[in-house]
Structure 1
């Protein structure tokens, strides 16, 4: 049995029903949580307060899925449940365990209503019995789990292989600090469009509309909102800012753009980096590529809103096959390579369960193909800024080192705290940037800068 569309009319004002529908799309139909949430908020029949609770429940269930399943296991062991019933129980247990302000009777009553309407009376009775037993029974003690990997996996609700992966590279304390930080609610951050306004001017405008913002700790053009989504602000509508994570704001300035360069952004979507590069151009030009037509369309919309379209050409194209139309080489190439996205687990918690180590290996091959190809499109003396939003070494340091080993006409250009205006604790011994989520409560990120020698090396 699946989610029934006819249930929608009867349950249209039931926020648990809407939470169930959204979670079903994410967990059983492989849709992205941020996309599903955005679509819901654009067409919601609920008021703002209920919308906030729906979003909290949906993200909370995904964020704590393995923890919830651990608590539920004694009550459903051996029972064959439809996917939607399992999801309904999860979202109910999430509220009972993590949201103290919601009365338990309200959680149970609404869950039973959803179960009866979408299923039948028997399903409603089953859900009622499970939840009432859960309320009366002491929860299992996670700290009693003997195996360290399993304990961290359940405690922080993350696939065991990811725990094991980081334990191979870091101490127990470092791994636990990382996993704990991934459970935190991500900040809403934005980059100021300095071609229109200063950061101070934008923050003053936001303050006048009731937004509480603070300056970014790591980017001179970044701000954080402490109390609201900035897309509803005048500053956003006027193109004075764009939503972007603080760690990705570090990428564009590392090219030290003069303003007159020909630049390639090989993987442009979702557009934060591309629009940042465009703000630094004057007489130069940016060519942006992406495989997805809808994504390129959205990047174009961002460029229009920010008033940057005249400096940019965006194409639906595979960067691994790209050739400049006029045969001219680029002064700088930005390659924000497709990756496993492990640095986004706080913002897109489904990544904690959907990715595998095999995905990392496959993506590393794609990254290698991309950097090898775009390197042929770069002028001597030009730079490649390679970046990812993941934390695996195979997709970051190993890609860079393998590339340098195979291309003696390239050298690494170490990133400097002083010359590049980067926090020293973000720079590795090799001269790369590696941002861990727990450092400044941002996405995890990696950046490396490579320079093509003026004289071609001899193979």
Structure 2
């Protein structure tokens, strides 16, 4: 069997590299770009890789009784067995015989005779004995940990902060495939016209209930659309559009996007501005290549005249900008990213509570640095793509405690999300609207 373009073999290779520290999306892109695969094989490869990552703790629970010496199992062999289990449990169109045959063949081609025998033995023993039952786990948190493949610390923290019912709703959602959403570029095309053209190209399209310029599309990748190539749309999650949408921008404003790469929110802000009338968004990042990426995205979307991208650490804005220089500032802060688990499933295993506590200090330092740069009566918007209080409400509380010259303002969105909430800040959870988890808060400088 030729393995070089076999999607199951490529999935095993990719999973081993991801387990060793590679980013899932980048690793998958590399594999797809390096091999000439049919669309069906790309789909199978992607499904297996993301599926194994999403269900890793569940698959480990099922496999454990059949591995006598786990420390002796090579990492790629473990990933191979996970791919077999995932296909059997979660993909209903592939016959068990085909899964077993291909798994054993991969073991034979990629290893030695001992590995082939070991893999064959494990598969057949699982088939004869059946898999252990998750419902036999007595500890309720451990049961959730195994069932939804989410680390115990995160489940306990969510239960503490959100309650058991909300935690369960979030857990049920995060292993479902994320929607593909796009933002229509209003500088180039109206939303209604974008819908018509996308449908003519064969996409299924529905309007978003989250963001006013958002559409949810399916059928094929949005970057294959002529509208994407022409800069009339860009790929962005619905929730990620809310920080810029909530900034109450007008076309002549001076705006600072303090943590800007890759530029999704920068270009969204720029679409509200009129460069000829002096409107400008200054976008910061600490890496040269990311500053270049921001400008590339701005040029593709035809808003580069309103964008100025600069290499600068947001904590050092005083080196370059005057106090009270900006009408609006956006701090879309570095965060744990736990609201993005559906798109980046490995995040759940990599992050710890200590990470959130460390990031909180970075977030506060950025807010501390940029706060003097807001004009009086201007607005500073703080957002994250996480769902933990440590990086959200706790940061808001500390910022306001330390800055009596700012007051909290209620976040408003064009589609009036959660208008009946008691808080000024807006929290979006993955189960709320089937979008990414996000947090947005606003502070107005007192005049």
Q: TM-score, normalized by length of structure 2? A: 0.96
Larger mean Cα displacement after TM superposition, 50-59 or 135-144: 135-144
Aligned with 1:251: secondary structure?
helix
Q: Is the 8 A contact 2:411 2:440 kept in 1?
A: no
Task: Within 5 Å, give how 1:130-169 maps onto structure 2.
Answer: 130-169=122-161
Aligned with 2:203: secondary structure?
coil
Indicate the residue corresponding to 2:355 in structure 1: 359
Question: Is the alpha carbon distance of 1:310 and 1:45 closer, same or farther for their aligned partners in structure 2, counting shifts above 3 Å?
Answer: same
Aligned with 1:17: secondary structure?
helix
Indicate the residue corresponding to 1:82 in structure 2: 74
> In structure 2, how many angstroms separate the alpha carbons of the residues matched to 1:97 and 1:333?
48
Q: Is the 8 A contact 1:426 1:435 kept in 2?
A: no
Q: TM-score, normalized by length of structure 1? A: 0.93
> In structure 1, how many angstroms separate the alpha carbons of the residues matched to 2:34 and 2:69?
39
Indicate the residue corresponding to 1:48 in structure 2: 39
Indicate the residue corresponding to 2:301 in structure 1: 306
Q: 2:433 aligns with which of 440, 444, 458?
A: 440
Indicate the residue corresponding to 1:259 in structure 2: 251
Task: Within 5 Å, give how 1:319-334 maps onto structure 2.
Answer: 319-323=314-318, 325=320, 327=322, 329-334=325-330
Aligned with 2:4: secondary structure?
coil
> In structure 1, how many angstroms separate the alpha carbons of the residues matched to 2:255 and 2:365?
20
> In structure 1, how many angstroms separate the alpha carbons of the residues matched to 2:386 and 2:320?
32
> In structure 2, how many angstroms separate the alpha carbons of the residues matched to 1:120 and 1:57?
24
Question: Is the alpha carbon distance of 1:405 and 1:56 closer, same or farther for their aligned partners in structure 2, counting shifts above 3 Å?
Answer: same
Task: Within 5 Å, give how 1:200-349 maps onto structure 2.
Answer: 200-282=192-274, 283-323=278-318, 325=320, 327=322, 329-349=325-345
Indicate the residue corresponding to 2:397 in structure 1: 401
Indicate the residue corresponding to 2:442 in structure 1: 449
Aligned with 1:322: secondary structure?
helix
Question: Is the alpha carbon distance of 1:146 and 1:104 closer, same or farther for their aligned partners in structure 2, counting shifts above 3 Å?
Answer: same
Indicate the residue corresponding to 2:385 in structure 1: 389
Alignment gaps of 5+ in structure 1:
1-8, 455-459
Q: Is the 8 A contact 1:14 1:110 kept in 2?
A: no
Q: CA deviation at 1:256?
A: 1.2
Question: Is the alpha carbon distance of 1:217 and 1:190 closer, same or farther for their aligned partners in structure 2, counting shifts above 3 Å?
Answer: same
> In structure 2, how many angstroms separate the alpha carbons of the residues matched to 1:178 and 1:325?
42
Larger mean Cα displacement after TM superposition, 165-174 or 55-64: 165-174
Indicate the residue corresponding to 2:17 in structure 1: 25
Matched, 1:412 2:446: no
CA distances 1:248-307 after superposition (whole Å, capped 9, x unpaired): 111112111111111110001122111100100103111101123333222222111101
> In structure 2, how many angstroms separate the alpha carbons of the residues matched to 1:138 and 1:426?
50
> In structure 1, how many angstroms separate the alpha carbons of the residues matched to 2:419 and 2:96?
45
> In structure 2, how many angstroms separate the alpha carbons of the residues matched to 1:17 and 1:296?
37
Q: Is the 8 A contact 1:427 1:433 kept in 2?
A: no
Larger mean Cα displacement after TM superposition, 294-303 or 404-413: 294-303
Larger mean Cα displacement after TM superposition, 38-47 or 435-444: 38-47
Q: CA deviation at 1:427?
A: 6.5
Aligned with 2:161: secondary structure?
coil
Q: CA deviation at 1:422?
A: 4.1
Q: 2:54 aligns with which of 51, 55, 63?
A: 63
> In structure 1, how many angstroms separate the alpha carbons of the residues matched to 2:433 and 2:43?
25
Aligned with 1:430: secondary structure?
coil
Question: Is the alpha carbon distance of 1:350 and 1:326 closer, same or farther for their aligned partners in structure 2, counting shifts above 3 Å?
Answer: closer
Q: CA deviation at 1:127?
A: 0.7
> In structure 2, how many angstroms separate the alpha carbons of the residues matched to 1:426 and 1:120?
62
Indicate the residue corresponding to 1:457 in structure 2: none
Q: CA deviation at 1:207?
A: 0.6
Q: Is the 8 A contact 1:59 1:349 kept in 2?
A: yes
